[in-house]
Amino acid sequence: MPAPLQKTLKETFGFSSFRPNQDEIISAIMAGRDTFAVMPTGGGKSLCYQLPAILQEGTCLVISPLISLMKDQVDAALDLGIKAAFINSSLPPAERARVLADFRNGDLDLLYLAPERLAAGFASELKQCPISFVAVDEAHCISEWGHDFRPDYLALSQLKDLLPGCPLAAFTATATDQVQEDIISRLRLNAPFTLRASFNRPNLFYQVSRRESVLGQIERAIASQGDQPGIVYRLSRADVEKTAVHLAKRGVAALPYHAGLPPDTRADHQEKFNRDQCQVIVATVAFGMGIDKSNVRFVIHGDLPKNMEGYYQETGRAGRDGEPAHCLLFYNRGDVGRLGSFIEKMGSQAEQRLAWQKLNDMTRLAETAVCRRRQLLAYFGEEFEGENCGACDVCQQGVELVDGSKHAQMVMSAIFRSGQRFGAAHVIDIVCGARTKKIQQFHHDLLKTYGVGANQAKPYWRRLTDAMAAHGLIKSDPKRYNALVLTPAGEDVLYGRKPFSYQQLKGETAAQPRTAAAPSDHNQELFNQLRDLRRRLAEAADVPPYVVFSDRSLREMAAYLPATPPEFLAIHGVGQQKLERYGEDFIKIIKEFS
């Protein structure tokens, strides 16, 4: 690694080593090559263009899709001592003139632009300014095959004409091979240095728990996280509202976010979350694109996501700072029916088939007692190396084989004797001998199977029925209110022709979310004080708290107790500028404390 890169990494960014692949990408950019990089969320893409931007003559243009987040990105860069600015439609004319003057004079390292600037009259301006290279962030937006196509991005096809010979570097967190080719050809990258980083996020713990009464489960899961920030995803707007209200009643600072709220409210809630002024955001999948908040410590899914892309992206918003974070999915088989009924309403047969396939892949991840990480990576074409990932529920708890033949026969007998016309809840009521109106109405208390399973609790039967469905013994019919019916494989088990066994997590009981990875040996009281200071400084400077320091920086301070400027410089994330700007305030609190 050339010394200047290492030096700038520490002096400006305060980091002592590169994240995987950063150095290779940076070297390619420094060598003037076109570059294409796929790196997971939190992989550290920004640094890949910011560091060369500092070292090279002229300005690096950064194309980024979300105007609302540009200011935060520029503030974060300025706070590191990088000469950065943005131009977009929100900028008053006087400011804009000043930025342009700086740009012309070569006084900027980074200039953030929205893509539509290139389509507008701005193009001729560009030719007169010293430009080192162009970085295209969220490059998948240029591809119609990607999941977030933006017509504005098509203007970027002209970059190679507008700025002949100027290197381009394109970044994205999600691109299948097809989308990758599309991006490269649309941007007309010239024999680019191409890098696909691993999608593994080792600091994320994946857990799937059975959903019983979800509001209480979400509440307890949040309580186990202390007062750390996190996101709760729900499928419907109504459930978002319900969950947010429930949490607020229980004293959790939670705000809702979904497309049905007025834009102002949405922006306000996002802003409050971003600035640590509310702990939890409860949201539909409408929330999250381009959120750079690095200290999200947990992501909870209250419902099954539609596909693995969504699950990966949403969980990926946790732990961008590389610190441990927890991803907890609450699931039961009812979700498949619910999502399935949306799919049945989709346009073409082909669309429906694809959506079903994706939903089945997602369901398998939730239901199969195989390392969640291995399954997730395999979906993205990557093999997890190693036996035990150490950071998912399956690897941590281990699995055991359970013989379920006899109990499966009881369930199927209840299904069969009640005419294969009822859903799982009612079938389980029969097996458990529940006294409900429906049981009386259909005289199901007279069935031979009524109450045969009364010695096991309902959640046990739920789990068993799910396992039976996962193994194809029974299936639910979406066209008849998800009534359970037997399959030929089920009949084999019912009539004793074949045994039935299934894998489950060792010692699995009703969902018991565990806490995130053990905290390190920092002093929590001091950490809290430092966090308060961070919030005050951030508010005074009108920037999000993580721009001032990351959680990891605060934890190192609370563990190593730096008392002098050189000691403070040794802390992760402290560079020259941060030392000058914040050193005194933080050292003061640390000293008072110790």
Binding site for Zn ion (CB under 5 A): 371, 373, 389, 392, 395
Element (H, E) at 73: helix 67-79
45 binds ligand ADP (CB under 6 A): yes
Give me the amino acid identity at 257.
Y
* CB atoms closer than 10 angstroms to residue 78: 17
Nearer Cβ to ligand ADP (47/235) = 47
Q: Least distance (Å) from ligand ADP to the CB of residue 366?
A: 25
Give me the amino acid identity at 224.
S
Q: Dihedral of CA 49/313/14/76: which sign?
A: positive
Among the listed residues 57, 157, 181, 164, the one whose alpha carbon sits nearest the alpha carbon of residue 107: 57
Of 44-52, 348-356, 457-465, 496-504, which part binds ligand ADP (CB under 6 A)? 44-52
Nearer Cβ to ligand ADP (490/544) = 544
SS3 content of the chain, % helix, strand, coil (to 5): 50, 15, 40
Q: Are 484 and 420 in contact (CB under 8 A)?
A: yes
Nearer Cβ to ligand ADP (18/133) = 18
Q: Which of residues 318-357 bind ligand ADP (CB under 6 A)?
A: 320-322
DSSP helix/strand/coil, 133: strand
Burial of 285 (0-12, 13-18, 19+ CB in 10 A): middle
Per-residue CA distances from 337 to 59, 160, 363, 529 (Å): 53, 49, 11, 48
d(CA 535, CA 551): 12
Residue 395's binding partner among ligand ADP, Mg ion, Zn ion, none (Cβ under 5 to 8 angstroms by kind) is: Zn ion
Give me the amino acid identity at 521.
D
d(CA 314, CA 204): 12
Query: Which tokens hold the place of 306?
Result: 């539609």
Residue 47's binding partner among Mg ion, Zn ion, ligand ADP, none (Cβ under 5 to 8 angstroms by kind) is: ligand ADP
**Interaction pattern, residues 267-296, with ligand ADP; x per rule: CB under 6 A:** -------------------------x-x--
82 binds ligand ADP (CB under 6 A): no
Q: Are 404 and 515 in contact (CB under 8 A)?
A: no
Of 45-53, 93-101, 158-166, 242-250, which part binds ligand ADP (CB under 6 A)? 45-53
Q: In DSSP terms, which residues pair with 303 in a beta bridge?
A: none
Of 15-23, 265-273, 377-385, 536-544, which part binds ligand ADP (CB under 6 A)? 15-23
Phi-psi region of 303 (alpha: psi -120 to 50; beta: other; left: phi over 0): beta
Residue 371's binding partner among Zn ion, Mg ion, ligand ADP, none (Cβ under 5 to 8 angstroms by kind) is: Zn ion
Of 40-48, 329-337, 380-388, 558-566, which part binds ligand ADP (CB under 6 A)? 40-48
Q: Least distance (Å) from Mg ion to the CB of residue 44?
A: 9
Q: Least distance (Å) from Zn ion to the CB of residue 205?
A: 9
Nearer Cβ to Zn ion (30/366) = 366
Nearer Cβ to ligand ADP (294/482) = 294
429 binds ligand ADP (CB under 6 A): no
Of 43-51, 117-125, 155-163, 205-213, which part binds ligand ADP (CB under 6 A)? 43-51
Q: Least distance (Å) from Zn ion to the CB of residue 143?
A: 32
DSSP assignment letter at 480: G
CA angle 406, 410, 414 (to 5 degrees): 165
Residue with tokens 């990607």: 146
d(CA 391, CA 319): 14
Q: In DSSP terms, which residues pair with 231 in a beta bridge?
A: 281, 299
Nearer Cβ to Zn ion (239/508) = 508
Q: CA dihedral in degrees (439, 441, 445, 446; nearest 10)?
A: -150
Residue 42's binding partner among ligand ADP, Zn ion, Mg ion, none (Cβ under 5 to 8 angstroms by kind) is: ligand ADP
Residue 429's binding partner among Mg ion, ligand ADP, Zn ion, none (Cβ under 5 to 8 angstroms by kind) is: none
Q: Least distance (Å) from ligand ADP to the CB of residue 392?
A: 22
73 binds ligand ADP (CB under 6 A): no
Residue 373's binding partner among Mg ion, Zn ion, ligand ADP, none (Cβ under 5 to 8 angstroms by kind) is: Zn ion
d(CA 270, CA 118): 28
d(CA 261, CA 308): 27
**Interaction pattern, residues 11-50, with Mg ion; x per rule: CB under 5 A:** ----------------------------------x-----
Put the strands of the sheet holding 280-283 in their side by side order: 204-210, 325-331, 298-301, 230-233, 280-283, 254-257
Nearer Cβ to Mg ion (46/279) = 46
Q: Which of residues 523-552 bind Mg ion (CB under 5 A)?
A: none
Nearer Cβ to Zn ion (311/450) = 311
DSSP helix/strand/coil, 193: strand
Nearer Cβ to Mg ion (45/531) = 45
Nearer Cβ to Mg ion (45/117) = 45
Nearer Cβ to Mg ion (134/474) = 134
Helical segments of 303-443, H only: 308-315, 334-344, 349-367, 372-379, 393-397, 405-417, 424-432, 437-441
Backbone angles phi, psi at 403, to 5 degrees: -85, 115
Q: Least distance (Å) from ligand ADP to the CB of residue 454?
A: 52
Q: Least distance (Å) from Mg ion to the CB of residue 153?
A: 16
DSSP assignment letter at 9: I
46 binds ligand ADP (CB under 6 A): yes
Number of residues that bind ligand ADP (CB under 6 A): 18
DSSP assignment letter at 151: G
Residue 39's binding partner among Mg ion, Zn ion, ligand ADP, none (Cβ under 5 to 8 angstroms by kind) is: ligand ADP
Residue 18's binding partner among Mg ion, ligand ADP, Zn ion, none (Cβ under 5 to 8 angstroms by kind) is: ligand ADP
Q: In DSSP terms, which residues pair with 504 in a beta bridge?
A: 400
Residue 26's binding partner among Mg ion, ligand ADP, Zn ion, none (Cβ under 5 to 8 angstroms by kind) is: none
- Binding-site ranges for Mg ion (CB under 5 A): 45
- Binding-site ranges for ligand ADP (CB under 6 A): 15, 18-19, 22, 39, 41-47, 292, 294, 320-322, 550
